[in-house]
Homo-oligomer: A and B are copies of this chain.
Amino acid sequence: MLTCKKEIEVSFHEVDSLTIVWHGHYIKYFEMGREAFGKEFGLSYMQVYKQGFLLPIVKINCDYKRPLQYEDTLIVETTWQNTPAAKVIFHYTIRTKGSDIINATGSSEQVFLDENRELHLTVPPFYAAWKVAHGVKD
Binding site for B on A (CB under 8 A): 9, 11-13, 15-20, 22-24, 27-28, 31-32, 35, 44-46, 54, 56-64, 67, 70-71
Contact = CB atoms under 8 A, between A and B. Distances in A.
Majority secondary structure, A binding face: mixed
A9 B9 CA distance: 13
Contact of A59 (B12, B19, B61): B61
Contact of A15 (B17, B28, B59, B63): B17
5 contacts: A13-B22, A46-B70, A57-B64, A60-B61, A61-B62
A58 to B, nearest CB: 5
Contacts of A24: 13, 24, 27-28, 31
